[in-house]
Amino acid sequence: MENASIVEILEEYAKYLEINNEDFFRVRAYNSAARSVLGLDFNIAEILKSGEELPKIKGVGKNIQGHIEEIVNSGTFHELEEIKSNTPQILIVMNKIPGVGAKKAFKIYKELGVNSLGELEYACIENRLAMLEGFGKKTQDKILKNIEYVKLSMQRRLLADAEEAAEKIRSFLDTLHYVEKYEIAGSYRRKLETVKDLDLVIVAKGESNVLDKISKENFFDEIREGGEKKITAALDGLPVDLRCFEKDDFYTALHHFTGSKAHHERLRGIAKSKNFKINEYGIFQGDKKLKVSSEEEIYEILGLHYVPPELREGIFEFREDLDFENLVTEEDIKGIFHIHTNYSDGAMALQDIVDYCRSRNFKYAGISDHSRSAFYAGGLREEELFGQIEKIDAVNAENSDFFVFKGIESDILPDGSLDYSKDVLQKLDFVIASVHSHFNMSMSEMTDRIIKAVNNPCTKILGHPTGRLLLSRDGYQVDMYEVIKECCRNNVIIELNCNPYRLDIDWRYLQTLIKEGGRVILCPDAHSKNGFEHIKYGVFAARKGGLTPAHVLNTLDTDGIAGILKNNC
């Protein structure tokens, strides 16, 4: 073993000590010992194996020398392996983010309780880092930006992140005179909540070797595979497959590469039963290739209703009782709820929110800052909530064409109770009840906890019901089917949280919710102006769940939503 290997292991231990906020002098001692070993003119391992006594090394006492002897014998030492096994992975990850460092990482971990990179990013978006002592807005923004460097190594991306790459690709392809048409297919086109790669279907404009030309444009970060009909590239770390087809095959190719595999298996079975064959190159009846001018024609030929891309998951899209022609759109949304102001951890003042919502042609907004138990997010004390109520009333008195609903996002406490007394909650137009702590309960405990909150007559909306953070944190254990039934029985609306990190309730539960007679409300969980734009991701998820405007409460006008929210607390 070379001395350099011993140095590396000693420095690794010093780093773990630093990450865990151990005593500064211990950290310095191991780093000093490592520097001394690096400067030696003899090989430690050779001396120890010869049985000779190790010469005195500056900064290496009895304890560290024992570690060095253990390193030579086994390649590591007990204390290092112990601290490695006991160190939360998120501390290691945060130390890889430029601008964080060991002290900041430990403070974030201890005070905000983040356990994953996604939770850290979400905390930045909610302005929680900026509120920590010693941080501030500039530090938070820098950390948020640098998180992207770490995320490049992740295998899957949030739909919102993939959308950024997709927009760059569209802008690039739109400049190429030799590309006649193209479409991004795959899970991105189906608006799945996470995306592994982007699949493009391209038609050339009367030229050959189009993909070769694209690969030479120096747009992609790398070209991993090249060919006449397909190239595999990468952009911002995201794999991109580009395939070139003849113009007559564009729609069957687009349909094929949109997927999903489960949808195609069902469709091919139906086609075979009717003596058709379908693949990326066309629809065939015997040896005859049929002309296809749109995706709609594919389904028409097979005697089926058209299935929009979002629904092609092989789950319920072939049911005859669903209204696929009238799926909800972003234009159907009349107003939004679950907005945080600068009273808690939001970035915008109340009047700024009103002005922005009006600029988006919304007719109403529901303000719901964090409740007092969410101290980490600036949760409102009772007197602060009363002050906000007065301010909202004043805003409403000045506006006849826009209405602000008074609300709160109340923590569901571990025993299932809400965060304020009934007397306080009665002063509000609505209450969103959400779990923000004690995630590690058993399924029965968590289900009982949430159901107790749902049974509280003050609860109007159940917020992000599973608590998941996509690619970062699984939802807590909860029997969603029981929760859905109880919400419907108590006329509690279930939130579809539109934040791309959440998209919670999962769209896969939506048909169950509709069958039970429930409705959802699309909420961006906005903490800043950018957060309002997240409504589109909620619309994507609602469409994947087969929802029409009739299923979504904030497609109602102001009077309609006010009637639904009438306080029975």
Comparing C-alpha atoms, which of 1, 34, 14 is closest to residue 79? 14
The DSSP code sequence of 82-99 is HHHHHS-HHHHHHTTSTT
From first to last of the 569 residues of the chain, give the pLDDT tens digit: 888 889 989 999 999 999 898 988 999 999 999 888 877 878 899 988 888 888 899 889 989 999 999 999 898 999 999 999 998 889 888 887 877 888 899 999 999 988 888 899 988 998 999 888 888 898 899 888 888 767 755 678 999 999 999 999 999 999 999 999 999 999 999 999 999 999 999 999 977 889 999 999 999 999 988 888 999 999 988 999 999 999 999 999 999 999 999 999 999 999 999 999 999 999 999 989 999 999 999 999 999 999 999 999 999 999 988 888 899 999 999 999 999 999 998 888 999 999 999 999 999 999 999 999 988 888 999 999 999 999 999 999 999 999 999 999 999 999 999 999 999 999 999 999 999 999 989 999 999 999 999 999 999 999 999 999 998 788 999 999 999 999 999 999 999 999 999 999 999 999 999 999 999 999 999 998 889 999 999 999 999 999 999 999 999 999 999 999 987 78
Q: Is-same-fold flag (3-86; 326-564)?
A: no
pTM, rounded to two decimals: 0.79
Residue ranges of domains in the chain: 3-86, 89-151, 158-312, 326-564
Pairing of strands 288-290, 335-339: unpaired
Q: What topology is assigned to 326-564 in CATH?
A: TIM Barrel (3.20.20)
The pLDDT assigned to 149 comes to 62
Strand order in the sheet with 282-285: 277-279, 282-285, 288-290
| Residue 343 tokens, joined | 């009273």
Cβ distance 270 to 227 under 8 Å? Answer: no
Neighbours of 54 (CB within 10 A): 14
Q: What is the CATH architecture of 89-151? A: Orthogonal Bundle (1.10)
The pLDDT tens digits for 94-153 are: 887 877 888 899 999 999 988 888 899 988 998 999 888 888 898 899 888 888 767 755
158-312 architecture in CATH?
A: 2-Layer Sandwich (3.30)
Instruction: Please enumerate in sequence order all residues whose Cβ is within 8 A of that of 447, keeping only pairs 6 or more positions apart, or say none.
Output: 478, 479, 482, 483
DSSP letter at 303 equals T
Does residue 328 contact residue 547 with C-beta atoms inside 8 Å? yes
In our burial notation (b when 16+ CB lie closer than 10 A, e otherwise), range 310-320 reads: bbbbbbebeee
First to last CA, the chain: 73
159-173 and 535-544 helices, crossing angle to 10°: 100
Would you call 42 helix, strand, or coil by DSSP? Answer: coil
Phi/psi region, residue 21 (left: phi>0; alpha: psi -120 to 50; beta: rest), is left
Q: What is the pLDDT of residue 154?
A: 62
The second-level CATH assignment, the architecture, of 3-86 is Orthogonal Bundle (1.10)
DSSP track, 384-450: HHHHHHHHHHHHHHH-SS-EEEEEEEEE--TTS--SS-HHHHTTSSEEEEE--S-TT--HHHHHHHH
Q: Please report, for residues 184, 253, 287, 291, the alpha-carbon distance to residue 294 in angstroms, rounded to integers and kept in the order given.
A: 15, 11, 21, 9
Pairing of strands 198-204, 194-195: unpaired
